[in-house]
Structure 1
Amino acid sequence: MIQASPVKNNGLWQAAIILLLTLGLECLFLNRANDFIESKIDESDTDLRTEASTSAVILKETLTRFLEQLDALHGLARLVTVARQTGDLPMERAAMDELGQWQGNMRHGVRYIGAIDPSGILDWTNLKAAVPRVSLSDREYFRAIAQGGAESFVGTPVTGQVSGQLGIHFTKSMRAADGALLAVTMIDVDPRMLSDLARIAGLTASDTLMIVRRDGVILTRSGADQYIGRVNPPESPHMRAFLGSQSGLVQGISPIDGADRVAAWQQIEQAGLILVVALDRGAHRARFQPTMDRSHRWIELTAALIALMGVGSIVILQWRLRFAMAEAQMDIAHQSERLFRDMAESLPDLVRLADANGVVRYANEATRELLGIEPNDLVGLPVNAFVHADDLAKMVVPTKAFAPTATPLRSELRLLRPDGQTIWAQTSLRTVVRDTMGLQSWFMISVTRDVTVQRQAEAALRLAKEELDAMLTATRAVLYRARVDSDGDLQMQFVSDSALHLIGYTPAEIVGMPNWFADHFDPAFAKERHEHLRRVLTQGSSRTKYRLRQKDGHWLWVSMFSRRVEGEGYMIVGTATDVSREHERDLQLAQSAKMAMLGEMSTGMAHELNQPLTAIGMMAENSLACLETNASTPDLVGGKLERILDQVRRAGAIIDHMRIFGRKSDGPPGPVAVAGAIEGATSVLSNRLRQARIGLVTHIEQHLPPVTGHLVRLEQVLVNLIANAADAIEAHSPALPRHRRDIGINASLVDGMIEIAVTDHAGGIDETLIPRLFEPFFTTKPVGRGTGLGLSISYGIITDMGGLISAHNRDNGTVMILRLPEAGGGDLAAHDDRVTAATESG
């Protein structure tokens, strides 16, 4: 038997040992290689999550800007609706043109804008073609506001009755101050708008961009129309994650299409929406598969040659793998840069990318509009190039010493364009540090926005305010804004600078002093003040006149006009104008007119006084005769003296009434009995009417409530009207039969107003002259028979009482009608209540 040689056996053992060592090294190498590949796959997943999160943040900003543009369109739609409701055609056309411009400037899928009335009928749209008034009352986006009380709503995508296409309807409510629904503005948006956003974000066909409502309804999903309108149950794991925080990441199998995805979400709270960016892990890995395949082949080759190459082959393979992963990360970096550039080109603001030295390396297309140069001309210049020399200190330019900034460094400064034009710009600077395979790169992002128009508008507003204050000062008027508090008092929030000239107080003193208005208001006019505020809050506006105390203690007559601010509760605006001179002039004019009237009635008054004086003389002579003849008795003389006293009282009453009628009335108004005013006026004219054989037919409704004013002034108006009627009858005296020589006076309550009518049958007034009756110095009487001031003064008195005066031809004669508001009954002081009840009921 031949035995094996020991050398051979040693060789076999050595071969076996080498084989075992080679196999061991190969197994160890393959195990290490697999671990290495898995770690790189994990790094790839980390990059995928970063990409998803970055895309979600960027797209949230884009979608938020889009929603802000929709809010602006809603505001214009509200303006169109208000213009249509008020019949303001110029405003409607201007708002429609502005809508068209906004819609044309928007990039993403706004089809049309319109409004729905409270009954659910489509009122109008901005489509050029005529649209029928279809009913949208059954639509979710209308019912959520009309029945659910929502202020705004984003509807589930449905096929529109107007467009005939699938659309998302963004709606907002228009409500009155009391909460009543006036209209619902609506914007129809193409749900496929996400295709544009997905393209801007650089997403692939396998990636998904989706907008979900908080109740799980999918409003739109890029590249998959069949999922639009589906409901993702809120109890599902993904929806619980979306609703659990403002933003985040989730990884796993999609419940919608079963794909393995990494999903990043951002909540948009103001709209109740969730933006989801879901990247396909399989498709992402497929992009790196060729590189991974090459790595595996190198591993296999190295394993086959490991006996010859040994440790060197392992080292070479490791460096090859590192190179492959570096190449993959460079691809990701290039894709991120392309995404940044695509997003930057879609923005209207100037976006610049600068290196660690602050030198611009990229600028978007907005460079042309903002600076008037090409983007390439900006590359290579410092980031603070074109900043005005006086504003350089305002702009902080970060360097590498700066840590990455979570909050942008903002500044507002002037830019000097190459063409010499100076503009105002708002600039945000932010530093970013990126780590690639252990190598850090530092860069800076700058976003600049042109705010020149905004600055000019602010300057124009300040100039307009100064001009308004100057105009108000020149016209002796104060502009104010105030809130009516629960006690019915005005709390001033704004007063124009003209207040200092008019009443001696600065605006700061008035606004800073609680209850300033109540403290400086004449208490005698408390009822008028609260009635004025009640009319403002219930009817929208009112005008009144009262006294206000100046800082030096003097009283000022003020005409106050106030208007309620719609939609702001008990907020009012208005003007207060100094009418002290006008008030004194009107009093003097009214007094002169009364004196003139008393002068015209002097002959009648002399006759009226002559009768009691004659009777007194005769009874006194009779009494003397009886005393001389001793034929008198105490009873006889006492009776004659009593009759003498009666005649003295009659003459005194006539004189007292004439004195009261001629008195100047300048005190605060109070309750006036209509019957008393009519009786006083007729007594003044009784002798003239009797001499002219003119009768009076008076009918006064029982329990007629009083009006607020001055008794003497109301008597003056009635005396004017009755005297004018008497003049008309005397002018037509020969042709008038007896039954047409009467003057009718009727007083009654009509529609909550006291109505006093003075009627004659003297042929009426030329219809062409009626509109001019209340003009000063206009008269239809012959020369020498009138001043032309009676009706003008009467018009002013009735207007100050909050009433109306009008003239009409009726039954071959003229009727003058006074309409006055009720005083509320009783003593005026008993009605000095607040307007709280009126504001609560109104």
Structure 2
Amino acid sequence: MGLRAGLLGKDSRSGNGATRTVLVVLVLLVALPAWLVAEAVIDRAEKLSAQDAYLRAGAAAAAVGHVASHVVDDASFAAVLARRWMAHRLSGDDSARRETEQMMRAIISEAAAGRTTLANIIIAGPAGETVWHSDPEIRPFSVADRPYFMEAASGQQGLPVSAPFAGRATTQPLFAAVARLEDEAGRFAGIVIASISPRDVSARLAQMTPRSNDVVAILRQEGELLARSHDVASLLGLIIPLPAEAVASLRRGGSFTFRQANQVSGRDQFMAVQAVDDTNLIAFAAVDAEAEMEAMPMLRGAARAAVLALSAGVLLALLFGRVARRNMALADMAAVLRQGREQVERLHAGLPVGLFLLDVTADGTARLLYRAGGAQDPPEDALRAALLEALATGTAGFEWVAPSAFAPRPTLATSLHRLSIRADGGGEVVGYSRDVTAEREAAAQVEAARRELDRTLEAAPIVVFRVTIAPNGRGTKTYVSRSIERLTGWPYDRINAPGGLRAIFDPPQAGYTGDRTLFAGADEWSKDLRIRCADGRLLAVKVTLTVIARLPDGSADAVGYIADVTAERAADARAIAAARLASLGEMSAGLAHELKQPLQAIALAANNARTAMRRDRVDVAEQRLDRIAGYTQRAAALIEHLRRFARGVDEHAPPQPVPLAEAVEGAMALTGGTLREAGIEVRCTLGDPSPVVMGHLVALEQVLANLLANAGDVLAALPPEAPRWISLAAKPAADGFTELRVADSGGGLPGLVLDRMFEPFVTTKGPDRGTGLGLSICHGLVVAMGGRIAAENGPDGAIFTIHLPDAPAAAPADLPASSPAAEGGNG
């Protein structure tokens, strides 16, 4: 019995231990998966909360982007008015200029009503001095030392926004949108400064952040803080560091979200940044992570407590049943869901849009599942059609005008996105509506400004056009102003058709030169061409092209203009001819000497030949006759050279290979006699063989003859003991050019004259000698040959340096320059 009892006791203790083990195992089997599931659920909830926070930050950044766009639109409109003001000022239309000034001051007056954030509008001239201020009581001052002025003066385009700065006519800090102003010739004419109040912009931003720890701001791409919903006065200009991934995304014009500690407060925040289109601004929004995730620790603790309770419930269920455990779990889950819903609704209530979730049937009938925000309901018919489109394609959108007692009535845009699709053709669709009234008004203003610009360009004395240059260098016209019809007589529709503008150039392929030049890397191109009019006339025009943007695919956008320079070129040709004839007149004494010398030698040789014939010295007579023939050829060559020089060069003839030695020889034929009589030594160092350049022989002779004659006049006036020499030296230069230097020992040029040497009517000669046009014409001739000319003072006297393009390597074999007909016209 004792043994039996002992055995039973041992079995009972073993059974109790086994039962406890089974209970522990059961609890672990339930508790461990429950714990893991709870952790996974909480992690998922944290991710969803983070996603909601990122969505809220992204929506806030988009709203900030709209505010920044409105600010830039105001500044852009001010820039349009400033350009109009500058045009009226240059044209002398004071009435239109005053009307434009009233419009700009009206914009500034709207700041008091909160409709604009512009503090003032300033127009500065090319030297930086302020020529107009929206506040007439402000005295003029200079902005030449401002970085934004230097950037605009160096060619920066667009409407960049500057860093914050202290205003010179106001105590409050400002930042500005600055646009470059140009005159009709495309030269820098000044800037327009639309100053913006960070305080006013920040006041707008403050209305978008109901929570004190949430922040929205506007930054420059360099990271400088321009406006902030809180504490902008103390943080203005602060550099906000952004992750490298965010910077890369912003450069592509996109957006980026990330999480990091706030630089100012140190609080953990969900951040979103978004590039503002067509500006150098960044919209920034930060949602306080601690506030967004404050429920997560409680929820995690509640979940863990629920797991413990669940474990206890399992144990109790094993002892008392499973009903109480299930009820408790359901109650906990309901509380979590309620809390999560409240947080989501609170987030959605702060967004500047109306959100909704619909369950849609296949026929477009919708049942509202969720709604947040205060936007009005869209029209039923338009919504039904858009829902069917969203079910079919995944997305849909439409705009509509909301009913309102006030004018103008607001315009709203509704966007729909399909979340799920069922087998019966229905599904869930999420959508949002936002107010786009301001955007549409801005677009209407831009369109009105564009129409006004078209009318202005139609009346302009030039033709404006725009081309897109493909990666292969081929340009395609995208715009041409209607003034082309008045200039050429061709119908506008014909010119505006593909290839129509190029077809009227003479020759047609001439228009492609600019495209290829800009494609090769140049930013500007200008050239004189000819256009054939509808009545058969040929107009001389100047075509100018400027690159305004180079795209990543290798293409480029360029804008240009065509100006009629027919009368100007005719006047230039007459001036060149007059200067050439004037040069012959000034050199007439030396030329007479050059002709008189061989004629005297001919007369002497003829007398000697006659004497030899009388003495029957035939051999001596033949020598004298050969000498007469040589002198005759020399005189004939000089007369032929004078005839070719007086006739000039065909202005439309293309550049030809010209040996420098031949051009120098021709110039010396015209001026050598005068120089020798004045005792002037001419030193030539041209090399063997001499360089061959691209140009026109007669034009180059005219340039050299003018330089030699000018140097001879200076040297002839020196004291007898002073050295008198002129040197001509040629050597290769960079970029395929040859350099020709003409120097003298005349002591140099006065500083005031040197700075204006190539301007018309600038001369150091007396009123009875020269017109002051010689060097100006020389400059034009060199530029027309594709070269350049410069003047400076050396140690002994003046130095003129001419750069001309080298002739192709194969050109010397077929040089046409030796033929007078190659340089002349048709007689």
Query: CA contact under 8 A between 2:748 and 2:793: conserved in structure 1?
Result: yes
Matched residue, 2:654: 668
CA drift at 1:552? 6.4
Q: Which amino acid aligns with 1:396?
A: A
Matched residue, 1:16: none
Matched residue, 2:118: none
Distance in 2 separating the partners of 1:363 and 1:167: 24
Q: Classify the secondary structure of the residue corresponding to 1:544.
A: strand
**Counterparts in 2 of 1:34-183, with a 5 A limit?**
61-62=55-56, 64-65=58-59, 87=151, 94=162, 97=175, 107=214, 141=244
Distance in 1 separating the partners of 2:161 and 2:562: 35
Matched, 1:725 2:708: no
Q: Classify the secondary structure of the residue corresponding to 2:729.
A: strand
Query: CA contact under 8 A between 1:808 and 1:816: conserved in structure 2?
Result: yes
Matched residue, 2:114: none
Q: Classify the secondary structure of the residue corresponding to 2:648.
A: coil
Q: Classify the secondary structure of the residue corresponding to 1:769.
A: helix
Query: CA contact under 8 A between 1:481 and 1:495: conserved in structure 2?
Result: no
Q: Which amino acid aligns with 1:690?
A: R
CA deviations on 1:584-612 (whole Å, 9 max, x unpaired) are 22122111111111122233323322333
Q: 1:617 to 1:826 in 2, by over 3 A?
A: same
Matched residue, 1:35: none
Aligned counterpart for 2:728 among listed residues 738, 742, 745: 745
Aligned counterpart for 2:583 among listed residues 574, 578, 597: 597
Aligned counterpart for 2:602 among listed residues 616, 623, 635: 616
CA drift at 1:654? 0.7
Matched residue, 1:538: 521
Distance in 1 separating the partners of 2:220 and 2:386: 49
CA deviations on 1:783-804 (whole Å, 9 max, x unpaired) are 1111011111122222333433
Matched, 1:420 2:407: yes
Matched residue, 2:749: 765
CA drift at 1:819? 2.9
Q: Classify the secondary structure of the residue corresponding to 2:467.
A: strand
Q: Which amino acid aligns with 1:677?
A: A
* Higher gyration radius (CA): 1
Matched, 1:448 2:431: no
Q: 1:408 to 1:758 in 2, by over 3 A?
A: closer
**Superposition TM-score, scaled by structure 1 size:** 0.57
**Counterparts in 2 of 1:351-430, with a 5 A limit?**
364=373, 383=377, 396=382, 398=384, 410-414=397-401, 418-428=405-415
Query: CA contact under 8 A between 1:682 and 1:719: conserved in structure 2?
Result: yes
Matched, 1:700 2:768: no
Distance in 2 separating the partners of 1:53 and 1:157: 13
Query: CA contact under 8 A between 2:608 and 2:621: conserved in structure 1?
Result: no
Matched residue, 1:818: 802
Q: Classify the secondary structure of the residue corresponding to 2:751.
A: coil
Q: What is the RMSD computed on CA atoms of the aligned residues? A: 6.4
Distance in 1 separating the partners of 2:497 and 2:673: 61
Q: Which amino acid aligns with 2:572?
A: D
Distance in 2 separating the partners of 1:150 and 1:466: 32
CA drift at 1:649? 1.3
CA deviations on 1:363-414 (whole Å, 9 max, x unpaired) are 846x7xxxxxxxxxxxxxx846xxxxxxx99x73559999996867643344
Matched, 1:793 2:798: no
Distance in 2 separating the partners of 1:814 and 1:553: 48
Query: CA contact under 8 A between 1:612 and 1:647: conserved in structure 2?
Result: yes
Matched residue, 2:464: 478
**Counterparts in 2 of 1:545-694, with a 5 A limit?**
545-548=528-531, 555-564=538-547, 565-568=549-552, 569-578=554-563, 579-620=565-606, 623=609, 629=614, 631-632=615-616, 635-665=619-649, 666=651, 667-694=653-680
Matched residue, 1:4: none
Query: CA contact under 8 A between 2:163 and 2:220: conserved in structure 1?
Result: no
CA deviations on 1:313-371 (whole Å, 9 max, x unpaired) are xxxxxxxx9xx999999989977874564233222235699999999x99846x7xxxx
**Superposition TM-score, scaled by structure 2 size:** 0.58
**Counterparts in 2 of 1:459-470, with a 5 A limit?**
459-461=445-447, 463-464=449-450, 466-467=452-453, 470=456
CA drift at 1:720? 1.5
Distance in 2 separating the partners of 1:643 and 1:635: 13
CA deviations on 1:223-275 (whole Å, 9 max, x unpaired) are xxxxxxxxxxxxxxxxxxxxxxxxxxxxxxxxxxxx9xxxxxxxxxxxxxxxx
Q: Classify the secondary structure of the residue corresponding to 1:661.
A: helix
Q: 1:143 to 1:94 in 2, by over 3 A?
A: closer
CA deviations on 1:111-150 (whole Å, 9 max, x unpaired) are 987759xxxxxxxxx9658889xxx9xx99489979xx99
CA drift at 1:503? 5.2
Query: CA contact under 8 A between 2:790 and 2:801: conserved in structure 1?
Result: yes
CA deviations on 1:425-452 (whole Å, 9 max, x unpaired) are 434589999xxxxxxxx99976232243
Q: Classify the secondary structure of the residue corresponding to 2:789.
A: strand
CA drift at 1:465? 6.0
Q: 1:429 to 1:596 in 2, by over 3 A?
A: same
CA drift at 1:653? 0.8
Query: CA contact under 8 A between 2:471 and 2:519: conserved in structure 1?
Result: no
How many positions carry a matched residue from both structures? 626
Distance in 2 separating the partners of 1:401 and 1:560: 54
Distance in 2 separating the partners of 1:622 and 1:757: 45
Q: Classify the secondary structure of the residue corresponding to 2:647.
A: coil
Q: 1:145 to 1:549 in 2, by over 3 A?
A: same
The percent identity for this pair of structures is: 23
Query: CA contact under 8 A between 1:112 and 1:127: conserved in structure 2?
Result: no
**Unmatched 5+ residue regions in structure 2?**
1-37, 72-146, 165-174, 178-197, 224-233, 315-319, 360-364, 421-427, 815-827
Stretch of structure 1 that moved more, 782-791 or 418-427 = 418-427
Matched residue, 2:475: 490
Distance in 2 separating the partners of 1:446 and 1:49: 28
CA drift at 1:73? 13
Q: Which amino acid aligns with 2:629?
A: L
